[in-house]
A and B are shown apart, each in its own frame.
Chain A
Amino acid sequence: MPEFIAILLTLFAWVLMLIGCVFIVAGGVGLVRFPDLYTRLHAAGVTDTGGTIFMVLAMILISLSQYQNPWIAGKLLLILFFTLFTTPTASHALAKTALLSGLVPKDEHGKPIIDSPELAQKMALSRAPKDGSVNLTPGASDNADNNKSDGNS
């Protein structure tokens, strides 16, 4: 590989790694400073995914420019692939379980945006309507008609 291409790859990897570090640290700060679970979920979930993408891409570029072993880039791609599947899935499962346990999201004034924990559980169990219209306003409990209320919980 010509010399200048290797230098260019390394510079680009530097920039990507820096962006990844900013994402990761911002996620950590948000995880500590945000007020409730759902906002923290946003901070952790979004920045974990973004930071992982940038950092792994930077490491792929470094491995291509420094090591002659293509398996390293392959393993890094596998890590990226699995992380991109598992992090959003874990965030979704966490949010759904929290809503199902009756933890109600609040707006910026600390006022609950859902009337009661029971309604939150109903909304967590309800299916989105077939026509795609989802009504998540307080008091719209008829939205939860098509849920299966006799679950095994």
Chain B
Amino acid sequence: MFVAAALALLATMILTIARALLGPTLYDRLLAVNSFGTKTVLFIAVFGFLTGRPEFLDIALVYSLINFIGTVAVLKFYEYDDLGSGAYQEDDF
């Protein structure tokens, strides 16, 4: 079962990389990279179960958080050209 899941995840990761390389706009590439990160988290978890060592889950946990932070950081950088800029709407917060 875990072999099938790992193969499905690997196939999807290849498709995601294809979109990241093809993607006409920057946002297509970012979407592909974010989606790739989610699949990596799942793949690490599945691989841990596949090899009978679920301790890999710690790495998956850290990777899911870093993936989100990376995506939001790149989005913010391309939006404002500055990672330290404030909110663009004061009543948002």
Given contacts A21-B8, A152-B88, contact A37 B61 (CB under 8 A): no
- From A75, A82, A147, A152, B85 is in contact (CB under 8 Å) with A152
Chain B: minimal CB distance from A94 (Å): 6
Contact of B45 among A25, A28, A56, A82 (CB under 8 A): A56
Residues of chain A within 8 A of B67, CB atoms compared: 86
Q: Does A143 contact B (CB under 8 A)?
A: no
Q: Which B residues are in CB contact (< 8 Å) with A79?
A: 41, 45, 57, 60-61, 64
Most chain A CB within 10 A, of B22, B27, B75, is at B27
A-B contact count, CB below 8 Å? 145
Chain B residues, Cβ within 8 Å of A97: 27, 75, 78-79
Specify which of A27, A28, A75, A103 is in contact with B27 (CB 8 Å cutoff): A103
The range of chain A's interface size is 35 or more
**CB contact list, B55-74 vs A, under 8 A:** 57-58, 60-61, 64-65, 67-68, 71-72
Q: Judging by beta carbons under 8 Å apart, are B11 and A25 in contact? A: yes
Interchain nearest-CB distance for A59 vs B (Å):
6
Residues from chain A with Cβ under 8 Å of B34 in the complex = 44, 87, 90, 94
Q: A151 touches which one: B31, B39, B88 (CB < 8 A)?
A: B88
Q: 1/0 per position for A63-103, CB-CB distance to B under 8 A?
A: 10001010010011011001100110110011001101101
Besides A86-B65, A98-B25, A153-B88, 5 other A-B contacts (C-beta < 8 A): A27-B12, A27-B35, A40-B19, A56-B42, A63-B54
| Residues of B in contact with A (beta carbons under 8 Å apart) | 1-2, 4-5, 8-9, 11-13, 15-16, 18-19, 22, 25, 27-28, 30-32, 34-35, 38-39, 41-42, 45-46, 49, 54, 57-58, 60-61, 64-65, 67-68, 71-72, 75, 78-80, 85-86, 88-91
Q: A residues engaging B (CB < 8 A)?
A: 13-14, 17-18, 20-21, 24-25, 27-29, 31-32, 37, 40-41, 44, 48, 51-52, 55-56, 59, 62-63, 67, 69, 72, 75-76, 78-79, 82-83, 86-87, 89-90, 93-94, 97-98, 100-101, 103, 125, 127, 147-148, 151-153
